Amino acid sequence: MKRLLFICCLICWPFTVANSIQNYRKAVLPDVVYTPITLVYNAPVKSQLLSNNIINALKGFLDANAKDIKKVANKYHFNEDFLISMICLETRYGESELFRLYNNAGSIKFPKGAFVRYDDDLPKEPFRVYKDKYSGIEDIPLFIQGNKSERYKKFLAIADSSNVYNIIDEFKRTGYATSPTYAKNMKIIYTNLLYLKNYL
């Protein structure tokens, strides 16, 4: 009888442990970790929501730039998380040469004062150069708000709203960036930013 009971325990033990782990995950870890991106917003993304690489890159970027971004966001009525996500995408989390050496946070072209040439959509395109990181970050809302094109009106109307996913979608429609994955990639960054702010 004891031997039979022992065999039953051996058979059931893996399932018991598995259930315990699953229950622990549900109790301790937020559901967002296990939610595919496709359930959070309408984008054809198959990967999991979170990435340790993105979260670590965000930490480093925010340590260096969060104060400047917050000042700019408040001054020009832009959603702060949108601005962080956008700049992280444009500068590869602050590691692009254009940002490190020339303080250009938004990949803003069109000569105005000092500029440097880089290959982008076309060879040797002119990108603005700024005296410091704050000036480069500040020029993003200045450039967009100063643009007289109709294409930015809808975006500016919601730029300080709380739904960052909608802001990103509207920003992509402005044509600011030409990459077809621009909005998708920014949403991935923003989702990781949300997790970093709320759970870590």
Q: Which pLDDT tens digits describe the chain residue by residue (200 residues)?
A: 544 444 444 444 444 433 443 443 333 333 333 333 333 333 333 345 688 899 999 999 999 999 999 999 999 999 999 999 999 999 999 999 999 999 999 999 986 788 888 887 788 889 999 999 999 999 999 999 998 889 999 999 999 999 999 999 999 999 999 999 999 999 999 999 999 998 87
Secondary structure of the chain: what % helix, strand, coil (to 5)?
A: 65, 5, 30
If one counts every other C-beta atom within 10 angstroms of the C-beta of residue 95, the result is: 12
Q: If we measure between CA atoms, which residue out of 188, 109, 150, 12 comes closest to residue 117? A: 109
Q: If we measure between CA atoms, which residue out of 98, 57, 58 comes closest to residue 81? A: 58
Burial class (CB in 10 A: 0-12, 13-18, 19+), 90: buried
Q: If we measure between CA atoms, which residue out of 181, 178, 174, 183 comes closest to residue 191? A: 183
- Angle made by CA atoms 7, 11, 17, in degrees to the nearest 5: 130
